[in-house]
Structure 1
């Protein structure tokens, strides 16, 4: 059964939870909003955590949505799972939804690498996913078809991750210590490395602290979860993108300095029911400044799917 970890008055309607999975592992969540409302599962970005979502209590109440943001194994309160894959985490989330007694179709969204996890969720459990939003998403680095569309930089990064795993493990361990001991200095250092579109958003008061705290939580367990997530990202994904049948909207910025928009139309073309929403001059953190529009669109997508499910039955009456 899920057990609340407690929350402060300043984080009203933001509740940390843990769920026991069938194999005994703990999976941590952050719930945003009213548990009586429609569920949307949010998959966090790489090196981050479920704490990366902006406060939106009034908006969630108005739209009658709740966000359930799971922390991947080795992140936050989630136990380390060294055999992490995209399908294994999709199975973890499905088991956690069962433990939370959530049986109906849900919305699914993911930011950055979380977008690949969102695709895996929809591909592995098509009957449980009503709509998908991919926010500044990436491609699975280990899929041969997608690999041909990667930039030279991303191909080099994948080569380094797979060819020198010990070096990457050491790097993530060092970063975990930096986030734990010097969080402000570390977030400021990352902001300086970003391109202008990302700096303009990340450096804003409020967003800076949110992303800082999400990274500190993300690098728990000595950075083990971040390393395992990177390894899973670089291996064959274990699911087929074409198996995603739910309506899917891809939000991407034309000025994204982390994952450029050039191969996003390629990804959209592999999805059966996709729509591409390119935002001029927006960067990788576009979800922070467009959160109301994104959630409003998810509400519309879910309503449309609800109507389509019941329309055939009504037509026969």
Structure 2
């Protein structure tokens, strides 16, 4: 036998090692691919239980209306719900004030949530187009208000960038911040980033740098994924207290479980897509936006609590300094669940609609 020729035993060991490595790679790759979404209205998917509009690209957007009728309303609002929520999010709904001021509001399931069709190509720009389409389908008029909460900031900032001509005013409530927006000095964004639990630092970094791993990262069992997705968000004691008080106050909805409804089409195109879009590479930097209301024909408001442990307040302070045309409201002792603290609902609505401080 040639001295340089491997014997059968060595060859077999090498072959088995190679095959094992290939199998491991195949297994790992397979686990990065999420299952296909369980589309609403499909033969095996969840049923469609409420009204939906058809968008310009043929997708459906499910919505829910609050307040007075569109025909009698003095103010028309599009509300963009938070991370892991849906069209039944009543964060800013105040029945008495809606009736008094004649406010109409429409909230909608963001793409992939609830009963709205998925949008695997979703961007901040396409999402702004969804908002504009919804307003046109419901005939809200040439201009309307947008209120966005937490991760719903994609709709708030997107509207300011892409459809400012359609806006009467915008309110951003406890808006999530992308640590990689270019205007942030490294020390500012890094300081805020390090305030997050280690598992959330990793989850956010994966969403930004290797978005194709988001599904695997948050479903594997080797180490913890996002605490927010797992239902163990890094909430302040003030948040926990106010949420405990309001836990039994939610108005009844036509669905038995909000969590199940939110995720019924699958995680990949709802909350995981949110992570990829919210913390991914944006097409623009919000801190470079121009004032959409140079003649004071409308206003933009940002609301944030200084006890918010989910989105560090120093980031909002920096944004407010970069964009002095934003009316910045910082509330002491208030956390991320800002609308649930009395009387913040009234303050948010009256500042946006009536110009009250």
For Structure 1 versus Structure 2, the TM-score category normalised by the shorter chain is 0.7 to 0.9
Structure 2: which 5+ residue stretches go unaligned? 1-48, 221-226, 294-298
Return the structure number with greater helix share.
1
- The offset of 1:234, in angstroms, is 2.1
Q: Is the 8 A contact 1:49 1:215 kept in 2?
A: no
2:352 maps to 298
Q: How far apart, CA to CA, are the structure 2 residues paired with 1:20 and 1:287?
A: 31
1:204 maps to 245
Question: SS of the counterpart of 2:51?
Answer: strand
Question: Deviations 1:173-224 (Å, cap 9, x if unpaired)?
Answer: 69xxxxxxxxxxx99x846853202101222244675799554433231112
Question: SS of the counterpart of 2:119?
Answer: coil
- The offset of 1:272, in angstroms, is 5.2
Question: SS of the counterpart of 1:67?
Answer: strand
2:274 maps to 229
Q: How far apart, CA to CA, are the structure 1 residues paired with 2:246 and 2:348?
A: 21
Match of 2:86 among 36, 39, 49: 49
Q: What is the count of residue pairs matched by the alignment?
A: 276
1:1-317 alignment, distance < 5 Å = 16-34=50-68, 35-36=70-71, 37=73, 38-54=75-91, 55-146=93-184, 148=186, 149-150=188-189, 151-153=192-194, 156-163=202-209, 165=211, 168-170=214-216, 190=231, 194-206=235-247, 214-223=258-267, 224-241=269-286, 242-246=289-293, 247-271=299-323, 273-289=325-341, 290-301=344-355
Question: SS of the counterpart of 1:221?
Answer: coil
RMSD: 3.0
- Cα 1:228–1:129 shift into 2, 3 Å: same
Question: SS of the counterpart of 2:315?
Answer: helix
Q: Is the 8 A contact 2:301 2:327 kept in 1?
A: yes
Question: Deviations 1:23-74 (Å, cap 9, x if unpaired)?
Answer: 1110112211122312111111112222221452222111111111122110
Q: In terms of Rg, which structure is larger?
A: 2
Q: How far apart, CA to CA, are the structure 1 residues paired with 2:50 and 2:105?
A: 12
- The offset of 1:170, in angstroms, is 4.2
TM-score, with normalisation over the residues of structure 1?
Answer: 0.77
Question: Deviations 1:6-39 (Å, cap 9, x if unpaired)?
Answer: xxxxxxxxx9531101211101122111223121
Question: Deviations 1:141-160 (Å, cap 9, x if unpaired)?
Answer: 44333483322346644322
- The offset of 1:231, in angstroms, is 0.7
Q: How far apart, CA to CA, are the structure 1 residues paired with 2:248 and 2:291?
A: 32
TM-score, with normalisation over the residues of structure 2?
Answer: 0.69
